[in-house]
């Protein structure tokens, strides 16, 4: 079926002209269907020791604490049946509290923070939980349209338990007025689906007197694939 005419109820379309970079990168030809389960080979399996202790604390990677509102970000990784996706890789990257990425392509004039690289990873536990310690990222301007600013967000990459579950997304913050003008956020056609990208303030997830808490659950496509026999 042609992606230009089909509205996916969850994911954005490839072509979304309000987000200018889609215009020359979206395919024009119809997508071709593969047989069901073609992407359902379980894996890739992250080996033991791939994620080291400390990689989930983005505030402990410099010589001292980074600037910004310290926050604990925790949530569960689930499949479409609501079951936990266990021992699965969660990777995040984000701007610092001033809205600047530790990245050579980021030319925003906001200051770098020598104590913040904005990169973390974690494995989910047996209940599907992950947990990061970080600071709240700043909003930042971009050149998509006049006065364009991205809302505060954290990028997430999830391997899931099979390629059918692979997901890259962005997590937003409740009450952010920039969400209304953000074409990336608004590229998701369904309003209820958009809201699933917004974290919730969860004070008890934080640390009293030290860090705010945010909760963000992530639901991947499909159910957990059944491992193939030998």
Partner 1 sequence: MAAQRTPSQTIGPFFHEGLRWKDAEKVAFAETGQAIVLTGRVLDGAGEPVGDAMIETWQLSPRGRAPAAAAGASRPHGFARVETAKDGSFRIETLLPGGPAPFLDVAIFARGLLKPLRTRAYLAREEMVRADPALAAIAASPRIKTLVALSAGDNAYRWDVRLQGDGETVFFAA
| Binding residues for partner 1 restricted to 56-95, rule: CB under 8 A | 78-82, 91-93, 95
Q: Is 155 considered catalytic here?
A: yes
Of 61, 110, 125, 194, the one binding partner 1 by CB under 8 A? 194
Is 140 known to be catalytic? yes
How far apart CA 166 and CA 79 sit, in angstroms, is 11
Contacting residue, 4, 5, 17, 42, with partner 1 by CB under 8 A: 42
Q: Check if 102 is active-site.
A: no
Contact characters 115-154, partner 1, x per CB under 8 A: --xxx-----------------------------------
Residue 157 near partner 1 by CB under 8 A: yes
Cα–Cα distances (Å) from 211 to 28, 59, 62, 98, in that order, read 47, 11, 18, 18
With CB under 8 A as the contact rule, the residue among 57, 125, 163, 202 that binds partner 1 is 163
Nearer to partner 1, 173 or 185 (CB): 185
Q: Which of 16, 19, 76, 101 is catalytic?
A: 101
Q: How far apart are CA 145 and CA 192, in angstroms?
A: 26
Residue 83 bears catalytic tag: no
Q: Which residue has the tokens 């990459």?
A: 157
Helix (H, G, I), strand (E, B), or coil: what is residue 150? Answer: strand
Do strands 70-78 and 212-215 pair parallel, antiparallel, or not at all (unpaired)?
Answer: parallel
- Contact positions with partner 1 (CB under 8 A) in 2-31: 3, 10-14, 16, 19-29, 31
* Active-site position among 76, 117, 150, 172: 150
> Contact between 215 and partner 1 (CB under 8 A)?
no
Q: Which of 15, 102, 108, 155 is catalytic?
A: 155
**Alpha-carbon distances of 63 from 8, 51, 114, 119, 175, rounded to whole Å:** 46, 21, 8, 16, 33
Burial class of residue 33 in the structure, from the number of CB atoms within 10 Å of its CB (0-12 exposed, 13-18 middle, 19+ buried): exposed
* Residues carrying an active site annotation: 101, 140, 150, 153, 155
């Amino acid at each position: 079926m042609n992606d230009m005419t089909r509205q996916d109820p969850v994911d954005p379309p490839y072509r979304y002209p309000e987000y200018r970079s889609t215009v020359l990168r979206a395919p024009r030809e119809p997508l071709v269907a593969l047989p069901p389960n073609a992407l359902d080979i379980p894996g890739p399996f992250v080996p033991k020791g791939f994620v080291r202790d400390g990689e989930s604390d983005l505030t402990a990677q410099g010589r001292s604490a980074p600037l910004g509102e310290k926050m604990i970000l925790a949530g569960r990784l689930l499949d479409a049946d609501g079951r936990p996706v266990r021992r699965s890789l969660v990777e995040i990257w984000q701007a610092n509290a001033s809205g600047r990425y530790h990245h050579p392509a980021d030319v925003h004039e906001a200051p770098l923070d020598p104590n913040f690289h904005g990169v973390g990873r974690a494995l989910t536990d047996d209940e599907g939980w992950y947990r990061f310690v970080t600071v709240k990222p700043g909003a930042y301007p971009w050149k998509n349209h006049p006065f364009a600013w991205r809302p505060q967000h954290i990028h997430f990459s999830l391997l899931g338990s099979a390629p059918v579950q692979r997901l890259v997304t962005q997590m937003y913050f409740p009450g952010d007025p920039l969400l209304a003008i953000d074409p990336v956020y608004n590229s998701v056609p369904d309003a209820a689906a958009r809201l699933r990208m917004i974290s919730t303030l969860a004070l008890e997830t934080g640390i009293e007197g030290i860090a705010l808490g945010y909760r963000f659950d992530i639901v991947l496509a499909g159910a957990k694939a059944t491992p193939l026999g030998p």
